[in-house]
A and B are shown apart, each in its own frame.
Chain A
Amino acid sequence: MILRLLILFVVLFAMLSVHCANLISEDTAQPNPTAGTLFFKKQVFPILKKRCFECHSHESGEINGGLALDSRSGWELGGDSGPAIVPGETKQSLIIETIRYGNVDLQMPPDGKLPESEIILLEKWVAMGAPDPRRTDPVISKKGIDIEAGRKHWAFQPVRVPKVPDVTETNWPLDEIDSFLLAKLELDQLHPADDTNRYTWLRRISLDLTGLPPTPQEIEAFIADSSDDAYARVADRLLDSRAYGERWARHWLDLTGYADQIGTANKVYAEYGWRYRDYLIDAFNSDKPFNQFIREQIAGDLLPGTVEERAAAITATGFLLLDNIEVGESDKMKLVVDVVDQQLIKVGTAFLGMTLGCARCHDHKFDPISQNEYYALAGIFMSTDSTHKVKYGVWSGIRSAQLPETTAQQTERDLKTQKHNKQLTTWIQTRAAIRKKADALEKESDERKKLEAQIPNLNRNIQHAEFFVPTAPRAYAVGDVEKPSDMRITIRGNPHALGEVVPRGFLKVISYSPPNKIPANQSGRLELANWIASPQNPLTARVTVNRIWQKLFGEGLVRSSDYFGLRGESPSHPDLLDFLAHRFVQNGWSQRKLIRSLVLSRAYRMGGTYNPQAVAKDPENRLLWRIAPQRLDAESLRDSLLLVAGTLQPSSGGPALALEYPENVSGLGPNNVNPPSFHLNKYHPGQKSQRTIYLPILRSGAQPAPAELRNLFDFTQPAEIAGQRPITTVPTQALFLMNSSEIKKRAAELAARTATLDGKPIEPSKRIEKLWLLTYSRPISKEEKAETLNFLNSQTDTQSAWTDLCHVLLASNEFLMRL
């Protein structure tokens, strides 16, 4: 802290121009101006005004770097770099260092050094004790965060248990959810859209829950099922399928920055990343309670459990690590604080719908989160071990941990190791034998050359096998550092410019009960996880149910689903949101139960037809008077193409990168200054026909060929933490659908698989019916049938006519969209 001068100097500023009069307050209580204030008035103020106010005054609207120079308190409090002036101490005053251009990173004014005469005047002024009669402006005094005022925001208030509203159309609701929706519609004299037909509903729920359209058999079974629980049976069948986990795990991955690559440089592979992806699929398939899901991802390494539970929970902490970590950063302190920042941003966005990163350099501009609170949370991650220096050049790696193994796993690994060693020994022996044989031959002989030509390949295999020795299963996982401690503020995120120490803790504005104390010898992640996973936390359940709602109804009840702060959107149905949040917690944080209730609601059965009256009153469908059609996301689109073409291969997970092939890895030599890197030359057998979630994800965002349509159809790039994907329409998508070999291949496969039945050719009209059922999940209409037969007959080449028809179906809106 600097010493404040006790006296407010007083002077009349008769010379000042009118428009600064409001900035320089006069205090007429003390009539005698001192020499200091006169000096300020005559010599200093004109310089400040001319040279600094453009970027550092309220008058100009610019308070760059948080520093205002239009009041005394402005420089006393200083900006992001601390107080600008220490009265009487020129050497310690940042403003003097800055105008002297003493620090190349902070030179003011930026567009050229001041004349020496002006610098001398300012130095003299600071040496005098910086007399400055301008009164403290309350506007810019460092404001504290007003927690009570902050709590007035709807999202920070405790979740209420709202009463289910009464409705007039009592036979419409199937669930309480419907009553909440209908009540609001009735208030605006609107009607929910008529139920859609069963075909559309089945296709909708299948795509939403599994990312795949229903098969003809599934369609027939549902249409034939006239029992009361036909709908529920479908929901349960889908929720029981592995495909459900495969789809919803991908939704979660959008919030993690996941890729099979570490950082963006040099294709450094994340060889254990897939374990986290598989953990997520399992978590959804086993309906892991969401509060446990939170605890495992933030503090799984600190949780007790059986061998399998421990392995899963440790793997879950990959959430904190599988992000865009620039391991090539040469400034290691910067790497550490940047990783902490990423972890904080991710935890804030994914679980709390808050933009915590905004408070890194200053108090949050809109939300009641202080810079100190950022560092209170950051200290928890600062006490967490995430990266470490590796032997290559300037590079770091991300932390991994050995997973507890069951006896069965150990036995399996021993067998694998034996096999591996045997193969390696064989290669080494073969190489030696070849060398020996070759050495015995004449130097330039063809025979010798032929023998020696085998050696490079063997060398590569041996080097690869020596590098990739079978080990116990590992996963990217965090741990606590040896000596957990509180963190110091980093000024503007610069780890070499440190401010005060901030004790670890949580956000006050959403703490309604005293959080558990962080033990001195621990990071505090477990306490953080429990604080987030608490029913008292007003954000966690609301944010989560809103994310699920968004995935089923297209948009969230709160449309800014990643941001519930003051600048976020208000909920369209606040009571419904709280009702769902409360029910979610009551149901043991079960995502499956929540999803089931939503897809079985009456609202989810609505059609999508346009309604001019409803549009006039509610053009954005905020009240949910219909289910709007929606284009499939990249994964659904590709997976559906594979499914209807009959080429989709099942998978039970496993490594995304086929590192076992030597041609896929380079840079294994011991003296490399760069870590080994991967090259996607070869895939696992069948991998290219597996669901998109099993394919490698690259940090560059240029996703590789088997699923390159991700590059065109709004795939969430691994650099983003975003719970909602935009749905964009650009001509390059149309070009893909018109001309790509991918779409043509699928069309040819679809044509081929519908050509015959039990080895006999199908007659055209039956074949068309089958095509419609496969692609549109509904029977073909008469009109369509006539038009299609007409198209087929107009083509000269029958073979290609069918492929062309399939191509058209796969590129058409009814296939591309979920209606």
Chain B
Amino acid sequence: MQLRTLLELMLLIFPPKPSESFFCSWGGGPSQPDLFDPKDYIKKMHGQKVTPPIKDHQLRTGVEKFLALAPGVPVRPRGNCGMMISDLMPNLASVADDLCMLRAMQADSKSHPTATLQMHTGVITEARPSLGSWIGYGLGSENNNLPGFLTIHPQADVRTYGSGFLPASFQGTPLTVPKDNNTPAIKYLTDNESDDTKQRSRLKLLQGMNLRLLERYQRDTQMEGIISSFELAYRMQVATPELVDISAESKETLNLYGIGSGPTDRNGKACLLARRLSEAGVRFIQVTIDGWDHHGNIRSALPHSCKGSDQPVAALITDLKRRGMLDDTLVIWTGEFGRSPWSQDLSGTSPIATHGREHQQESFCTILAGAGVKPGITYGETDDFGFLPVAGKVHLHDLHATILHLLGLDHKRLTHRHAGRDFRLTDVYGRVVKEILA
């Protein structure tokens, strides 16, 4: 077990043809027993020992007592579909009929860095291409002034948006919601020390010198590539500030996302920015939202995490829908794993009310919405504990295969030859989850 105080919710968005798509995901292990998959048995046994079918070769810390931990806040059926969503997520609950809940998701690692990497690249170690890179590789770009894959407030591990052995042009470009007018959204985007005229005169001299060198060599693809990269960089520099400037959005929209003040401001801006980038033709956008790793005190900490993200994420669905974008946009929202139905107590002496939950990759919840996905369904079921899948298990590889399928890509045919072997996102695994396709 590892502790990390900051964890994240991730939101990936991409508008491809024929359908567009947003990939949203909760990182850090949001607590599905508290939010989406409550169990009567756990409720009944609250505070008492349960005996889940756990294999004994896993070391665990602070969970040896296996005390059932009931959700602190009710989880109820929502909308016409009756999807189970906690009172902690009232806004998400209001769009339940637009969502598709996978309740028996599974991944391979119990540790944040490896599990997060797997969610993005399919593998636990190494530096393979990330989902966004594969999609850019498969579908190409739609905007000439911006990279095709942007990641808002990304993970520290650059491999989560790296292009691995695919060309670097498919890697994700990190983007920050600007705090003020002086902070660039993309690193090094602006020259803070000199004005535009100066920069242009420098660039003119630079490109002149580069062209003279190129003349000496007549032709050279690397030199030519660098020359055009400066041109694109300059265009990015001009195009990006306009795009990330949300002041033109209506007050009503800003309110919808919870932008202005309070815990929803940062994530609201990130989600709104995601929509704007999507409209501008960026193929794949990812948003990371911190704060789901509740090893202790989950009952007091989880409401806080929910507050910061519930409204912005629900607003994104609502906003996309009313703009007619949800039909060709895929939204996916997931953590890299979930949390245990039993409690974790690292001190060994705290009362159950202050316990947290341990990581759980055996089952967790993922939400999809939009293009090509059946709305208002819950797919997959876990056992009486909420531990092992008993039906409708969807492994991360299956989720990847399904995402590619929804974008018109065959996960078995989207390959790249590297070191003598054809690699793919789903390695040798993956099944398209046909049951959730509209």
Taking the complex as formed, is B193 at the interface, i.e. its CB lies under 8 A from any CB of chain A?
Answer: yes
Q: B residues bordering A, Cβ < 8 Å?
A: 1-4, 55, 57-62, 110-114, 117, 124-127, 147, 156-159, 162, 165, 167-169, 171, 173, 186-194, 198-199, 201-203, 205-206, 208-210, 212-214, 216-220, 222-223, 225-227, 229-230, 232-234, 236-237, 346, 388-391, 393, 398, 419-421, 428, 431, 433-435
Interface majority SS (helix, strand, loop, mixed), chain A: loop
Q: Which residue of B lies closest to A734 (CB)?
A: B233
Complex CA–CA separation, A732 to B186 (angstroms)? 9
Interface pair A717/B61, CB less than 8 Å apart = no
Residues B420 and A563 in contact, CB atoms below 8 Å apart: yes
- B217 contacts A608, C-beta separation under 8 Å: yes
Structural contact, B156 and A702, CB atoms closer than 8 A: yes
Task: Check A729 against B222 for contact (C-beta < 8 Å).
Answer: yes
**CB-based closest 8 A-B pairs:** A567-B420, A728-B168, A734-B233, A264-B113, A610-B218, A729-B225, A701-B158, A731-B233
Asked whether A804 lies within 8 Å of B202 as measured between CB atoms, the reply is yes
Chain A 4-31 near chain B by CB (<8 Å), digits 1 or 0: 0000000000000000000000000000
Taking a contact as CB atoms under 8 Å apart, the answer to whether A717 and B158 are in contact is: yes
Min CB gap B197→A, angstroms: 10
Given A355-B420, A674-B3, do A733 and B194 touch, yes or no (CB 8 Å)? no
List 4 additional A-B contacts (Cβ < 8 Å) besides A111-B434, A609-B216.
A610-B220, A628-B220, A736-B187, A808-B209
CA distance A342 to B167 in the complex (A): 25
Segment at the interface with B among A127-135, A329-337, A580-588: A329-337
Contact with B along A804-819 (1 / 0, CB 8 A): 1101100111101100
Complex contacts, B194 vs chain A, CB 8 Å? 800, 804
Docked-complex contact A355 and B205, CB < 8 angstroms: no
Task: Return chain A residues, CB-CB under 8 Å to B3.
Answer: 266, 673-674
- Does A107 sit within 8 A of B, measured CB to CB? yes
Which one of A70-78, A227-235, A640-648, A719-727 is at the interface?
A719-727
A102: min CB distance to chain B, Å: 12
Task: Please indicate the chain A residues that have their CB under 8 angstroms from the CB of B421 in the complex.
Answer: 355, 358, 365-366, 567
Q: Which of A342, A609, A701 contacts B159 (CB 8 A)?
A: A701
Number of A-B contacts (CB under 8 A): 235
Could you write out 9 A-B pairs with CB less than 8 Å apart? A265-B112, A394-B60, A702-B157, A702-B158, A720-B126, A728-B169, A731-B232, A791-B205, A813-B227
A358-B421, A610-B217, A817-B223 known; A326 and B125 CB under 8 Å? Answer: yes
A64 close to chain B: CB less than 8 A: yes
Chain A nearest CB from B190 CB (Å) reads 6
Q: Which residue of B lies closest to A113 (CB)?
A: B391
Interface membership of A404, Cβ < 8 A: no
Q: Which residue of A lies closest to B190 (CB)?
A: A739
Contact (Cβ within 8 A) B61 A673: yes
Residue of A330, A700, A717 near B110 (CB, 8 A) is A330
Q: Give the contacts of A604-637 with B (CB-CB under 8 A).
A: 608-610, 615, 628-631
Contacts of B230 in A (CB 8 A): 731, 734, 737-738
Select which of A110, A608, A734, A787 is within 8 A of B208 by beta carbon.
A787
Beta-carbon contacts of A722-762 to B below 8 Å, as 1s and 0s? 00001111111111111110001000000000000000000
* Chain B residues within an 8 Å CB radius of A355: 419-421
How far apart are the CA atoms of A800 and B188 in the complex, in Å?
20
Using an 8 Å CB-CB cutoff, how does the interface string of A82-114 with B read, 1 for contact, 0 for none? 000000000000000000010010010011110
Look across to chain A and name the residue whose beta carbon is closest to the beta carbon of B398.
A110
CA distance A783 to B126 in the complex (A): 50
Q: Beta-carbon contacts of A251-281 to B below 8 Å, as 1s and 0s?
A: 0000000000001111000000000000000
Q: A817 vs B216: C-alpha distance in the bound complex, in angstroms?
A: 14
Given A813-B223, A817-B222, decide whether A738 and B159 contact each other with a Cβ distance below 8 A.
no
Q: Which residue from chain B places its CB closest to the CB of A747 in the assembled complex?
A: B202
Across-interface contacts of A800 in B (CB, < 8 A) = 194, 198
Cα A567 to Cα B421 in complex, Å, equals: 7
Give A148 to B228 CA distance when docked, in angstroms.
52
| Shortest beta-carbon distance from B352 to chain A in Å | 19
Closest to B363 in A: A104
Question: How far, in whole Å, are A608 and B117 apart by their CA atoms in the complex?
Answer: 41
A560 contacts the other chain (CB 8 A) = yes
B191 near A729 (CB under 8 angstroms)? no
A732 and B57 form a contact (CB under 8 A):
no
For A694-723 the 0/1 string (1 means CB < 8 A from B) is 000001111000000001001001011000
Whether B168 lies near A104 (C-beta < 8 A) is no
CB A53 to nearest CB in B, in angstroms, measures: 15
A781 nearest CB neighbor, chain B only: B212
What CA separation (Å) do A332 and B434 show in the bound complex? 36
Q: Chain A nearest CB: distance from B22 CB in Å?
A: 24
Chain A contacts of B433 at CB under 8 A? 111
Residues of B within 8 A of A744 (CB): 193
Question: CB distance B2 to A266 under 8 Å?
Answer: yes
User: With an 8 A cutoff between CB atoms, is A324 at the interface?
Assistant: yes
Give complex CA distance A112, B4 in Å. 37
A700 touches B157 (CB 8 A): yes
State whether A629 touches B232 (Cβ < 8 A): no
A46 at the interface (CB under 8 A from B): no
**Max chain A C-beta neighbours (<10 A), residue from B147, B171, B198, B205:** B205
**Which residues from chain A contact B156 at a C-beta distance below 8 Å?**
700, 702
Contact of A731 among B217, B236, B420 (CB under 8 A): B236
**A33 CB-CB contact with B under 8 Å:** no
List residues of chain B with CB within 8 A of the CB of A101: 390
Contact call A735/B167, Cβ cutoff below 8 A:
no
A328 at the interface (CB under 8 A from B): yes
Nearest neighbor of B225 in chain A, beta-carbon distance = A729
